[in-house]
Amino acid sequence: MTTRAAESHARVRLIVKGRVQGVFFRRSTVDTARTLGLTGWVRNLPSGDQVEIIAEGRRRDLESLVAWAHTGPPGAHVESVDEQWSECRMEFNDFRVR
């Protein structure tokens, strides 16, 4: 990856808290991320009210995913989204549920 390309790509880890389990949040995240051309994964956390997302791709597309995560799919009620940004590691080939 060129320096210019590396600068436009990033990685974000999201912890989405609220009514986010049992409302197709993970499946909707996969659909949204794939539409945006992102790679990574999403999983439920044992707390029962949190979902973790790791995504990589173009920063502007990641920002779109973050904006979507603040609302989520119909039936979800998002209370908070914790974001942690870092450098893209080019670690994933697709986006899936873990």
Query: What 3-state DSSP class applies to 97?
Result: strand
Q: Out of 13, 44, 59, 96, which one is annotated catalytic? A: 44
Q: Which residue has the tokens 């990574």?
A: 40
- Residue 58's CB is within 10 A of a number of other CB atoms, namely 16
Report the DSSP beta bridge partners of residue 77: 19
Query: What 3-state DSSP class applies to 9?
Result: strand
Active site residue 44: yes
Active site residue 93: no
Phi-psi region of 51 (alpha: psi -120 to 50; beta: other; left: phi over 0): beta
Which residue numbers are catalytic? Answer: 26, 44
